[in-house]
């Protein structure tokens, strides 16, 4: 989580009320994109569509403080202090013990177009190769929600353009293999012998599968 703290500098505006694209000199769209790329792999935030489970769930952070009447400016100041002095981040939350304050809700307009969108597309094997790239935003998602292949030896490839680590793993029907963890344009590859049936492809990096980075592979 510490590695993602600098990204929150741009994302501080997500703490504030309203859905405008900018407030003062800050850019909400860039802040939200940065949050998805640098923080979403660890944190759940419905407003950004992220589903990370390694760090605190930001949809419930500072809930008690809000009930007690603290204002958005207070939360923004706290996070700004964490960005400037990350080693002093107390990470105390009544529910998780590790707060990262965010204001729940939905965004509209151009800001509403930014965030993780889970894919319903189907990846299809071609000439023995099945390409299932990771979401380039760094989110816990692949660019395909499911996949199809024919029985036989299949090379499964997953290119990862993001700086967040991802890989591709396959399990089911006696298969349990995975490729190497890659980032910044690397491709995770695994060769598997597949029989007819159902399998699961997923990212084996801790917390990523739990955060929803998986899909169904049908072989027929």
- HEC profile of 89-135: CCCCCCCCCCCCCCCCCCCCHHHHCCCCCCCCCEEECECCEEECCEC
Integer Cα distance of 195 and 197 in angstroms? 6
CB 59 within 8 Å of CB 45: yes
pLDDT average, residue stretch 12-27: 46
pLDDT of residue 26: 58
Residues comprising the chain, all counted? 220
Q: Cβ atoms within 10 A of the Cβ of 125, count?
A: 19
Closest CA to 83 of 8, 185, 195: 8
Q: Which helix (H) or strand (E) holds 184?
A: none
Integer Cα distance of 155 and 161 in angstroms? 19
Parallel, antiparallel or unpaired: strands 175-178 and 50-51: unpaired
Q: Beta-strand (E) ranges in 26-119?
A: 26-27, 44-45, 50-51
Q: Which residue in this structure is represented by tokens 């998602």?
A: 141
Q: What angle do CA 73, 8, 188 make, to 5 degrees?
A: 160
Q: Cβ atoms within 10 A of the Cβ of 159, count?
A: 18
Domain ranges of the chain: 2-112, 122-219
Span 140-175, pLDDT tens digits: 999 999 999 999 999 999 999 999 999 999 999 999
How many CA within 13 A on the CB side of residue 186? Answer: 14
Among the ranges given (48-62, 69-83, 92-106, 202-216), the one the predictor scored with the smallest mean pLDDT: 92-106
Q: Beta-strand (E) ranges in the chain?
A: 22-23, 26-27, 44-45, 50-51, 122-124, 129-131, 146-149, 152-160, 169-172, 175-178, 186-194, 197-202, 214-219
Backbone angles phi, psi at 195, to 5 degrees: -100, 165
Q: Does 3.40.50.2000 match the CATH number of domain 122-219?
A: no
Retrieve residue 66's tokens. Answer: 């809000």
CB 99 within 8 Å of CB 1: no
Of the pLDDT bands very low, low, confident and very high (cuts 50, 70, 90), residue 14 is very low
The percent of residues above 70 in pLDDT, for the chain, comes to: 69
Span 77-108, pLDDT tens digits: 766 665 565 555 544 444 444 444 445 556 66
Q: Which residue in this structure is represented by tokens 């504030």?
A: 16
pLDDT average, residue stretch 50-60: 78
- Tell me the pTM: 0.61
Q: Which helix (H) or strand (E) holds 83?
A: helix 72-84
Of the pLDDT bands very low, low, confident and very high (cuts 50, 70, 90), residue 118 is confident
Identify which has the larger pLDDT, 40 or 142. Answer: 142
């Amino acid at each position: 989580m510490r590695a993602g703290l600098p990204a929150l500098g741009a994302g501080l505006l997500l703490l504030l009320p309203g859905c405008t694209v900018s407030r003062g000199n800050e850019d909400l769209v860039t802040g939200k994109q940065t949050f998805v790329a640098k923080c979403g792999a660890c944190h759940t935030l419905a407003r950004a569509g992220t589903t990370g489970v390694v760090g605190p769930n930001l949809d419930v952070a500072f809930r008690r403080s809000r009930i007690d009447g603290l204002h958005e400016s207070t939360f923004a100041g706290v996070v700004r202090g964490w960005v400037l002095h990350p080693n002093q981040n107390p990470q105390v939350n009544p529910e998780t013990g590790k707060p990262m304050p965010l204001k729940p809700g939905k965004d509209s307009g151009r800001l509403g177009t930014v965030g993780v969108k889970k894919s319903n597309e189907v990846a299809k094997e071609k000439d023995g190769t099945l390409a299932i790239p990771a979401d380039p935003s760094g989110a816990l998602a692949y660019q395909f929600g499911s996949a199809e292949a024919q029985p036989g030896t299949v090379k499964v490839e997953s290119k990862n353009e993001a700086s967040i680590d991802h890989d591709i793993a396959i399990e089911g029907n006696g298969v349990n293999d995975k490729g190497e963890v890659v980032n910044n344009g690397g491709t995770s590859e695994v060769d598997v012998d597949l029989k007819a049936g159902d399998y699961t492809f997923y990212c084996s990096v801790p917390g990523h599968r739990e955060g929803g980075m998986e899909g169904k592979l049908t072989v027929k």
